Amino acid sequence: AEAGVDDFLAEATPETKLELIREYQAKGHLVAMTGDGTNDAPALAQADVAVAMNAGTQVAKEASNMVDLDSNPTKLISVVEVGKQMLMTRGSLTTFSIANDVAKYFAIIPAIFMAALPHLEPLNVMGLASPKSAILSAVIFNAMVIPCLIPIALKGVKYRAVGANELLQRNLLVYGLGGVIVPFVGIKLIDLVIAGIGLA
């Protein structure tokens, strides 16, 4: 209890370890397992997150998701946190990219077709100067936004230990809504500059 461990299983057979993991998974838990021996392999293969020690057997390494090169079993919680951060980062960037693309199309398509289809003029809510400037603005915006996302991709979205619903709502607000607003603002500003210097 002093170490913060509620329960433990000692001198277990491979079948007992496997049964324990399946029992927790049947209750809806995600199970992490660390091991180094051949007797750990079935449980490692069953676990949702399995980390084998580098000093362990080849069978344990092959049964696991990853191998800890330091052979330090205490790093399991850190591994799970890094995995969550990577998943959150991928989801956040995907959300931003999809919202960004949708917003760009809503911004530039009416401007592109307004010369050929004048009745689409009311849909040009951003008031982009011309079809040429709309396309040029979108291309320049794309070229500028991609390098801005690289630090987020490399550093990762900050992981916070909160519920899944709260994380989803926060990331949809920041990256989803941000992905919609940023292109409208960015494309309009670039369009103003392009029109101002007479490129379109």
Q: What is the DSSP string of 54-112?
A: TTS-HHHHHHSSEEETT--GGGHHHHHHHHHHHHHHHHHHHHHHHHHHHHHHHHHHHHH
Asked if the structure places residue 7 within a domain, the reply is no
Verify that 110 and 66 share a domain, yes or no. no
Does residue 134 sit in the same domain as residue 116?
yes
Structure confidence at residue 13 (pLDDT):
94
Confidence of residue 4 (pLDDT cuts 50, 70, 90): low
Is residue 92 included in any domain, yes or no? yes
Say if residue 89 is in the same domain as residue 161.
Answer: yes
- Residue 156 three-state SS: coil
One domain, residues 122 and 160: yes
Shared domain check, 91 and 64: no
Determine, yes or no, domain membership for 61: yes
pLDDT tens-digit series, residues 98-150: 999 999 888 888 887 877 887 877 877 888 888 888 889 999 999 999 999 99
Domain that holds residue 42: 14-71
Domain with residue 20: its CATH number is 3.40.50.1000
Greater model confidence, 99 or 168: 99
pLDDT in tens, 21-67: 999 999 999 898 989 999 999 999 999 989 999 999 999 999 999 89
Q: What sign does the dihedral 80-85-88-93 (CA atoms) show? A: negative
Distance of CA 59 to the CA centre of its chain: 31
Token pair for 193: 């500059």
Domain match, 63 and 102 both: no
144 φ, ψ to 5°?
-85, -35
| Helices (H) then strands (E): counts for the chain | 7, 3
Count of CB atoms within 10 A of residue 86's CB? 13
Does residue 84 belong to any structural domain of this protein?
Answer: yes
Whole-angstrom distance, CA of residue 105 vs CA of residue 101:
6
Query: How many independent structural domains does the chain possess?
Result: 2
84 shares its domain with 127 = yes
- Same-domain check for residues 84 and 57: no
